[in-house]
Chain A
Amino acid sequence: MTDQAQHAPAATPKPAAPARAKGGSLLGLGRKDFMLLLFVAALILFAPFLLNPFPAGSAMAQFNAGYPDLMQRFVIFGIFAIGFNILFGLTGYLSFGHAAFLGVGSYAGIWMMKLLTLNVIPAIVASVVVAGLFSLVVGFISLRRSGIYFSILTLAFAMMSYALAYSVLTPITGGETGLQLKYFDPRVLDAPLEAGVTPRANLFGIDMQASTNMRFGAWIFTLNAGYYIAGVVMLIAFYLSIRLFRSPFGMMLRAVKSNQNRLNYTGISPKPYTLAAFVISGMYAGLAGGLLVAMDTQVGAERMFWTASGEVVLMTILGGAGTLIGPVLGSGFIKYFENIVSKINESTLNAWFSFLPDGLQDVVVAIIYPFVGKGWHLTLGLLFMAVVIFLPGGLVQGGQKLVTVFRRDRKSADAEKAAAEQRQTQE
């Protein structure tokens, strides 16, 4: 993946002044971008602590998101959304079939772990490569059309992959049951496992599921190897996406979004650029798929269903399409809701509101109950509508608006507005 993303900008012709030249050059980033990268790095590093703000065993403990399974999902879907944002945020092409690349990546990954070794490196490399090749084919065909026709074409390819994985390709995909690692898989590079042992993925001997618990008084923090490995991968993915956003290549992609006709008149064909963006985002999706199997060592076809594609669109929009940090925030937000809000049930609600008088308690619980637990999709739908209606720029725009409101006290509103506009054009 490192390979591809560094080659992609190099392959572009040389449009005017690259944006990254200004400011100091830390890792090839401007000061602001570098701070952003540091911020994300800190977020990843301290997430097990930040996400566990409530002491274990307390009433609020179920809002804790600092358990390995969920944290792994945060970073993996973060990668997925970062990649999707490279296509949608920069070029404006709305793909409704990105889950197919994630699924194909997962299948490629698990086959490497079945046939070659339990080390995750070959699995991840294979998933990125296979997803890249598949997205090259799909992108080459789908990008012949634009607008909703493009969306429907990608959707059609994804649904075909899903249907095939579910039925005809059962020998490769495991059909309905999916694929799991078994002790008797013929792993060429590994010593054979004893009968009945559940194979676990590792990175040069580091078990992906290995965790250490740290106790501080009533607080318990879980540090998980798989999470940190995925976190490092996400940091690299994030860094590459910043470089891509600031590169001449990223500039060309924005040009595709703002006015394709003008590009055509200039004598530049947008197709190679959009195709490159499509393939890069497909590889990001494959990387996410590969990491998913590296963490939980199983795949099912439902990973490719169109709702999964819809979910990554939601993540990107919710966070803020076309911004750097937006997709990361969006995916964290949705995964948190999915896992935490859906766990609240009637008895927890009753426990929370037990301080209210009896009649009032019943009323409050009855009002809130449809929105939590099994009904969390309702909350998600409402939230999503609210974001699209009031904050078309997603959570990032919401944050910027807040900042603007707070600063207005000190500076004049006009100057701030100008700055906000400038920020937007930069992002």
Chain B
Amino acid sequence: MEAIILQVLNGLDKGSAYALIALGLTLIFGTLGVVNFAHGALFMLGAFCAVTFSRLLQLSHSVVDETRTDFLGNPLKVDVYYVQEIFGETAGAAIIDWAVPLSILFAIPVMIAIGVAMERGLIRHFYKRPHADQILVTFGLAIVLQEIIKYFYGANPIPTPAPDAFVGSFDFGVLLGFDPGGIVYPYWRLIYFLFAAVIIAAVFAFLQFTTFGMVVRAGMADRETVTLLGIDIDKRFTIMFGIAAAVAGLAGVMYTPINSPNYHMGMDFLVLSFVVVVVGGMGSLPGAVLAGFLLGIIEAFASMTEVLDVLPGINQIIIYLVAIIVLLTRPRGLMGRKGVMED
């Protein structure tokens, strides 16, 4: 029982990342009808937003500290963070410590801007083109974005730690009445899951309960009629693209403490999140979220040593295996609609 709960928890954080990326992919596909292979790159850009932001916070200049001297008796030069100068010693240190969560504020406008620019500049010209062309051009864009990041940030992973408050693990088992140490789960992964849940809920609420969301849903169902009613649906879809980019970006921002970001992390996630989208059913938002968590948890179970003893290597292929089985038994994925992307 403990092992099962532990594996479910282990699956949740990876599942959250899959779900968030797949959600963004599906939003773009559902609104614009574009298959966005650059979505993994947006995830990666989000992660590098966090890197950039924490570097910005750590900008410093050296000041001569008259009160202290080095061993020769000269006044000591000390690096002082600008943040600490502005907000004071303790508050500044806290801000630097909380760089990753704070970069959410930085990442949202940046990612929306990137998303809107991408849609206006490139994707817009590909609505009428075949899906293969869309896949190829966004794939090219993904390579370009990835190489730009590699040029500026280098090829090595950049460690970006979580705030000190969240370092360490949470003894989850005690809450449920198991022995202490039975189910131990890192705080940050818990935070990541909760964060993902909030974002997913927010996106659904936004689509369901706001006028803007209603118009977007109407546009997804019947674009032509909405246009005939005098609504500038293109503009709203552009904004939705920005939101989808922000969702992917935020998934990236919060993922940095779990895995140090590197320039190819987007590609690594892209392939899997496409599998997730397809398993969930192209164009279905709940399907994307469901499949994301499902595949994350299944992957965690397949990584258990008990399973690996019986079926070695199963953890490497389980997602693809599940994808093949789902696609062969349920042609449109778990919750897909008829006639989407079948030609």
Contact = CB atoms under 8 A, between A and B. Distances in A.
A and B are partners in one complex rather than unrelated chains: yes
Interface of A: 92, 94, 141, 144-149, 151-153, 155-157, 159-160, 163-164, 166-168, 260, 306-307, 310, 313-314, 317, 370, 375, 377-378, 380-382, 384-385, 388-389, 392
A389 B341 contact: no
A167 B313 contact: yes
A148 B278 contact: yes
Contacts of B323: 152-153, 156
B151 A381 contact: no
Given A146-B343, A370-B151, A384-B143, 17 more contacts: A144-B331, A147-B343, A149-B278, A149-B331, A149-B342, A152-B323, A155-B274, A157-B324, A159-B320, A163-B317, A164-B313, A260-B343, A313-B136, A377-B146, A385-B144, A388-B136, A388-B137
Contacts, number: 112
B342 A375 contact: no
Interface in B318-343: 320-321, 323-324, 327-328, 331, 341-343
List 3 A-B pairs, minimum CB-CB distance, nearest first: A381-B143, A168-B313, A163-B316
Interface string B126-154: 00010111011101111110111011000
B1 to A, nearest CB: 29
A164 B132 contact: no
Contact of A381 (B140, B278, B317, B327): B140
Nearest to B142: A381
Contacts of A159: 271, 317, 320
Given A152-B278, A370-B151, A388 B133 contact: yes
A94 B342 CA distance: 12
Contact of A384 (B35, B140, B274, B341): B140
B275 interface: yes
B125 interface: yes
Q: Which of B131, B150, B271 has its CB near the most chain A CB atoms (within 10 A)? A: B271
11 contacts: A94-B135, A141-B328, A144-B331, A147-B342, A147-B343, A149-B278, A149-B327, A160-B320, A370-B151, A381-B147, A389-B137
Interface residues of B, number: 41
B26 to A, nearest CB: 13
B28 to A, nearest CB: 14
B42 interface: no
Contacts of A155: 271, 274-275
By secondary structure, the A interface counts as helix
B140 A378 contact: no
Given A147-B342, A147-B343, A392 B129 contact: yes
B271 A306 contact: yes
A152 B320 CA distance: 9
Contacts of B132: 92, 94
Contact of B327 (A145, A163, A307): A145
Q: Which of A144, A152, A389 has its CB near the most chain B CB atoms (within 10 A)? A: A152
B294 interface: no
Given A147-B342, A148-B282, A163-B313, A156 B143 contact: no
A313 B267 CA distance: 16
A293 to B, nearest CB: 24
B109 interface: no
B180 interface: no
Contact of A148 (B131, B139, B146, B312): B131
A121 B170 CA distance: 62
Nearest to A155: B271
A129 to B, nearest CB: 24
A152 B275 contact: yes
A395 to B, nearest CB: 14
Contacts of A260: 343
Q: Which of A153, A166, A388 has its CB near the most chain B CB atoms (within 10 A)? A: A388
A164 B316 contact: yes
A377 B147 contact: yes
Contacts of A384: 136, 139-140, 143
A160 B267 CA distance: 17
A369 B168 CA distance: 44
B328 A378 contact: no
A381 B148 CA distance: 11
Contacts of B313: 163-164, 167-168
Nearest to A167: B313
Contacts of A92: 132
A144 B329 CA distance: 11
A375 B328 contact: no
B37 to A, nearest CB: 10
B35 A378 contact: no
A92 B141 CA distance: 23
B327 A153 contact: yes
Contacts of A377: 143, 146-147
Contacts of B327: 145, 149, 152-153
Interface string B250-279: 000000000000000001000100110010
A310 B316 contact: no
A319 to B, nearest CB: 13
B247 to A, nearest CB: 21
Interface in B19-53: 35
A147 B140 contact: no
A378 B147 CA distance: 5
Contacts of B143: 377-378, 380-381, 384
Contact of B316 (A94, A148, A166, A378): A166
Interface string B149-185: 0110000000000000000000000000000000000
Nearest to B155: A374
A275 to B, nearest CB: 16
